């Protein structure tokens, strides 16, 4: 048994860039502990409570904020999202690498709270590709698409704050880069 601390890897980037695809592929590797966030948004079809997210009410979320449950939390597209702190600390202490897939405001908070975190920004191959991905998402209304596009453009401007930039050309390449970062 190793007593070394695991690494905290923060994977961020604009909404629609494909972070969740990377995470679901990465789950096939045994290298990481994946934090399960709490959110006030409604489950999408197929999302299971406790696996995709802990789905909570606004009141429950506020209570969790007040009880300092979260390592970070932020609002994104009208819902709140937060990373439960204790599970992350426990996994790191057990020597596991922890992956947080979160938006940019939360990523900034993690860097402040845990300066050793490895900050990774996932970039789209081009702005046009990101816009196409957001626009083609079947479930959103035109207003919501416009809001997501505006937000994504703002989020892209945060790339320079991160230690590592990965371009999402090929899922396998991104996975390899993350596995290497954890091992380095």
Residues that bind ligand 5GP (CB under 6 A): 15, 19, 37, 41, 72, 74, 76, 81-83, 101-103, 106
Closest to ligand 5GP by CB, 2 or 139:
139
For ligand 5GP, give the closer residue by CB, 70 or 182. Answer: 70
- Residues, the chain, total? 184
The answer for residues whose C-beta is within 8 angstroms of residue 33's C-beta and 6 or more apart is 6, 87, 88, 91, 96, 97, 98, 99
Q: Which residue, 31 or 85, has its beta carbon nearer to ligand 5GP?
A: 85
CA dihedral 32, 35, 41, 46 (to 10 degrees): 50
DSSP 3-state of 94: coil
Who contacts 4 (Cβ-Cβ below 8 Å, separation ≥6)?
95
Least distance in Å: CB of 126 to ligand 5GP? Answer: 19
In the complex, which residue's CB is closest to ligand 5GP? 106
Give 83 or 123: the residue with its C-beta nearer to ligand 5GP: 83
Count of CB atoms within 10 A of residue 104's CB? 24
Neighbours of 33 (CB within 10 A): 18
- CB nearer to ligand 5GP: give 6 or 82: 82
SS3 46: coil
CB 35 → ligand 5GP: shortest distance, Å?
7
- In the complex, least distance from residue 83 CB atom to ligand 5GP, rounded to whole angstroms: 4
- C-beta of 2: minimal distance to ligand 5GP in Å? 27
In the complex, minimum distance from the CB of residue 3 to ligand 5GP, in angstroms, rounded to a whole number: 28
């Amino acid at each position: 048994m190793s007593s070394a601390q695991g690494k905290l890897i923060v994977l961020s980037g604009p909404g629609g860039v494909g972070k969740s695809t990377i995470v679901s592929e990465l789950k096939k590797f045994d290298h990481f502990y994946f934090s399960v966030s709490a959110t006030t948004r409604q489950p999408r079809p197929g999302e299971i409570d406790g696996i995709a997210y802990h789905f909570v009410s606004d009141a429950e979320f506020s209570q969790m904020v007040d009880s300092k449950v979260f390592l970070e939390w932020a609002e994104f597209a009208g819902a709140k999202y937060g990373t439960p702190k204790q599970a992350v600390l426990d996994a790191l202490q057990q020597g596991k690498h922890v992956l947080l897939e979160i938006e940019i405001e939360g990523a900034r908070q993690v860097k402040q709270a845990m300066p050793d975190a490895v900050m990774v920004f996932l970039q789209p191959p081009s702005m046009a590709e990101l816009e196409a991905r957001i626009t083609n998402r079947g479930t959103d209304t035109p207003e919501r698409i416009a809001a997501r596009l505006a937000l994504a453009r703002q989020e892209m401007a945060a790339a320079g704050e991160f230690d590592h930039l990965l371009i999402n050309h090929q899922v396998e390449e991104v996975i390899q880069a993350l596995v290497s970062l954890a091992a380095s």
